[in-house]
């Protein structure tokens, strides 16, 4: 049941989403969690550890985050089906893998704001025009 | 593969993958397997996947979903026109870099 964003949403739904956040994103997240549940235990343990890392350092909000979770589920399902060992999947340094992965998605609001603040502060300190966001 | 080789590989991995895809379409697992055969044994499959997601987002490859007998459909990547242009650029940069490094090895740039 795919829905065109916004167009068919009733006013009530729109109001509700102001209060609860995007229902579409919540639905996608639930679907993602259901896919992860289906994985063999050792893969699931690894994904859950990865999720914890993403909660701290990954993009945590918006449609970009949902895309990220869905891409992750694709990877793990494929790896299970190919019989790729956990270590081959994550490599010797799992942090390196996850950081390369995170780069593909828009930074969460917190990170984006702080990056902009830092960049602008340097521009002002360098005496360049416009240091405002 | 030593630490140094791994670090150097990181900067060129994108070009390597695009070069592989310029000869034929492939899915993620095939690319990783090929790299391992060639002695790039330290590369995580996840890292290759992250790279494939990136080049797909940047429109350098076309992606076809091909059903497989077991498991989910495979994403098969092939280089498109934009990807070929990008690869051309990569080889130019590579030629520049190797030429300058060779000069350094030969005892520095006299100019």
Rounded distance, CA B25 to CA B31, Å?
10
Q: What per-residue string of b and e applies to B35-74 under the rule 16 or more CB within 10 Å gives b?
A: beeeebebbbbbbbbbbbbbbbeeebbbeeeeeeeeeeeb
Model pLDDT for residues B98-111, shown as the tens digit of each residue: 999 999 999 865 55
Residue B9 lies in a domain: yes
Establish, for the pair of chains A and B, how many residue pairs have beta carbons separated by less than 8 Å: 60
Give the percent of chain B with pLDDT over 70.
95
Instruction: State mean pLDDT over A24-42.
Output: 92
What residues have CB less than 8 Å from A70, skipping those under 6 apart? A28, A32
Model pLDDT for residues B56-104, shown as the tens digit of each residue: 999 999 999 999 888 889 999 999 999 999 999 999 999 999 999 999 9
pLDDT value of position B2? 77
Rounded distance, CA A106 to CA A61, Å?
9
Rounded distance, CA A133 to CA B2, Å?
43
Residue B73 lies in a domain: yes
| Burial degree of A14 (CB within 10 A; 0-12, 13-18, 19+) | exposed
Q: Domain map of chain A by residue range?
A: 11-105
User: Across the interface, do B43 and A91 touch by the CB < 8 Å criterion?
Assistant: yes
Q: Find chain B residues with C-beta within 8 A of A92's C-beta.
A: 42, 44
A1: pLDDT strictly greater than 60: no
Q: Does B42 touch chain A (CB under 8 A)?
A: yes
pLDDT value of position B110? 56
User: Across the interface, do A97 and B68 touch by the CB < 8 Å criterion?
Assistant: no
Encoding tokens for residue A127? 């005496």
User: Across the interface, do B71 and A88 touch by the CB < 8 Å criterion?
Assistant: no
Model pLDDT for residues A75-129, shown as the tens digit of each residue: 999 999 999 999 999 998 999 999 999 989 887 777 788 889 999 999 999 999 7
- ipTM of the modeled complex: 0.83
User: Across the interface, do B57 and A79 touch by the CB < 8 Å criterion?
Assistant: no
Q: What CATH number did the domain enclosing B46 receive?
A: 1.10.10.10
Residue B111 lies in a domain: no
Entry pTM: 0.82
User: Across the interface, do B46 and A104 touch by the CB < 8 Å criterion?
Assistant: no
A2: pLDDT strictly greater than 60: no
DSSP per-residue letters across A108-124: PHHHHHHHHHHHHHHHH
A19: pLDDT strictly greater than 70: no
Report whether CATH 2.40.40.20 matches the domain A11-105: no
| Count: domains in chain B | 1
Model pLDDT for residues A104-114, shown as the tens digit of each residue: 988 777 778 88
Residue B97 lies in a domain: yes
B48: pLDDT strictly greater than 80: yes
User: Which of B47, B69, B75 to probe by mutation at the A interface, max A CB count within 10 Å?
Assistant: B47
């Amino acid at each position: 049941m795919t829905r065109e964003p916004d167009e068919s949403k009733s006013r009530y739904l729109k109001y509700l989403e102001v209060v609860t956040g995007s229902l579409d994103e919540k639905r996608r997240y639930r679907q993602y969690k259901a896919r992860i549940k289906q994985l063999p235990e050792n893969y699931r343990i690894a994904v859950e550890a990865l999720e914890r890392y993403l909660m701290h350092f990954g993009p945590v909000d918006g449609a970009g985050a949902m895309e990220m979770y869905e891409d992750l589920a694709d990877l793990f399902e494929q790896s299970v089906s190919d019989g790729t060992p956990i270590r081959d999947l994550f490599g010797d340094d799992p942090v390196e893998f996850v950081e390369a992965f995170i780069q593909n998605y828009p930074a969460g609001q917190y990170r984006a704001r702080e990056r902009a603040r830092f960049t602008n502060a340097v521009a002002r300190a360098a005496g360049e025009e416009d240091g405002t966001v | 593969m030593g630490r140094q080789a791994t670090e150097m590989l990181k900067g060129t991995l994108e070009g390597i993958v695009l070069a592989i895809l310029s000869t034929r379409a492939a899915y993620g697992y095939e690319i990783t397997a090929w790299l391992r055969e060639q002695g790039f044994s330290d590369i995580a499959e996840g890292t290759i996947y992250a790279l494939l997601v990136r080049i797909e987002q940047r429109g350098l490859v076309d992606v076809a979903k091909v059903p497989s007998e077991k498991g989910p459909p495979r994403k098969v990547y092939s280089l498109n026109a934009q990807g070929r242009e990008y690869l051309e650029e990569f080889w130019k940069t590579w030629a520049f870099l190797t030429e300058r490094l060779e000069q350094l090895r030969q005892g520095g740039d006299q100019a």
